[in-house]
Amino acid sequence: MEIYQIYSMTSAVLFVIGMGGVFMSKHFIKKIIATIIMGGGVFLAFVSFAQRDALSFADPVPHALVITGIVVAVASAAFALALARRIFQLTGEESFTNDK
């Protein structure tokens, strides 16, 4: 069981926790945090595939992809938080009621 397999397994677990959190939790902020966790899981998966053995150099491409991925995740998380904040200001709602 090489080191990277542990990482990839944790990344899968993180992904599943994130996905579960988005669907199951009620509060907006909880859902947004869950998406960030899911993102973290995915990026960990990328990184875990970058270096399989201690000898060779780490594969730069996943690293670059992760950097880009993280920035995109940040942008969408920021937007989601702004949305949640605005909704709270306008209506005081903190979770999805099943209205229209």
Partner 1 sequence: MEAVWKVPEGGGLTAAAEALLPQSGVEHPVTAVLLNFRAYDTWLELGVILLGLLAIYAVGGIKRYPKQNEAGEDPLLRQVMLFFTPVLFLFGAFLLYFGKSGPGGAFQAGVLWGAIGILLHLGGKLVFSVIPRSLGQLLLTIGLGFFLSLGFLLLARGAAFFEYPPAYAGVLILIIETLAAISIATTLTAMFANLNQENKEETNESKPTN
Partner 2 sequence: MTDLPTSPYPALLVGLPVMMAILSLFFRPRGKAFLGLIGCLLTAVLAIFAFVEVTQLGTVIHRLGGWEPPLGILLRMDALAAVFIGMTALVGALISLYAWRYFDAQDTSTDGFPLFWPLWLFLWAGLNGLFLSNDLFNLFVTLEVIGISAVALAVLSGKAGALVSGLRYLLAAITGSMSYLFGVALIYGSTGTLDLEMLGQVLEAGPATTFALLVMTLGLMIKMAGFPFHFWLPPAHSNSLAPVSALLSALVVKGAFYILLRLWMEVFGVSLTYAAGQLIGVAGAIAVIWGSWQAFMQTSLKLIVAHSSVAQLGYLLMVFPLLILPSGVSAASADWLSPAWTASVYQVLSHAFAKASFFLSAGIIVMAVGHDRIESLRDLVGHMRMTALAIGLAGVSLIGLPPSGGFMGKWMLLKGIFLSGQWWWAPVVLVGSLLTAGYIFMLLRLAFAPTGEKEPFQPVPKRLEVFALLLAVSSFLIVLPADYLIQFLEGSEVFGSGIETVLKGGAYGNN
Partner 3 sequence: MIWLLTIVLPLLAAVLTPFIPAGRRGSGWVFVAATLPALWLGLVEVSGVTAEWFLLGSDFSLDTPRRIILLLTAILWATAGLFADAYLKDDVRRGEFAFYFGLTMAGNFGLLISAEVTSFYTFFALMTFASYGLVIHSRTPAARRAARIYLVMAIIGELFLITALYLAVQSSGSMLLADIPPALAEAANGRFIFWLGLIGFGVKVGVIPLYFWLPLAHPAAPAPASAVLSGAMIKAGLVGWMHLAPVGLVEWPTISLLMVSLGFAATFGAAIYGLTQVDPKTNLAYSSISQMGIMTVFLGMGLYGGIPAALLLPAIGLYAFNHGTAKALLFMGTALPAKVGGAWRLLMWAGLGLGVLAIAGGPLTGGLWTKYLVKTFLGESSLPGAQTFLLLLTLSAVTTTLLLSRFLHLLSRIKAPSGTMAPAFLLPWVLLLLAGGWWTMSPTLLPADLLAHMAGEKGILDYYLYLHTNWAAFWPIATGVLIMALTLKVAALNWWPTKEPLLPAGDFIHIILLVGDGLAKFVRKGVAWLTSTAKSLDGPEKLFYRISDSQRTIQKSAAAESVLRRWDFVGIGFFIFFLTLFFLLR
- For the beta carbon of residue 81, count every other beta carbon within 10 angstroms: 15
Integer Cα distance of 16 and 28 in angstroms: 18
Q: Under a CB-based contact definition with an 8 Å cutoff, are residues 32 and 84 in contact?
A: yes
Phi and psi torsions of 55, nearest 5°: -70, -65
Q: Which of 2, 58, 74, 86 binds partner 2 (CB under 8 A)?
A: 86
**20 is a contact residue toward partner 3 (CB under 8 A):** yes
What is the contact surface with partner 2 in residues (CB under 8 A)? 8, 11, 15, 18-19, 22, 28, 31-32, 35, 38-39, 41-42, 45-46, 48-49, 59, 61-62, 65, 68-69, 72-73, 75-77, 79-80, 83-84, 86-87, 90-91, 93, 96, 99-100
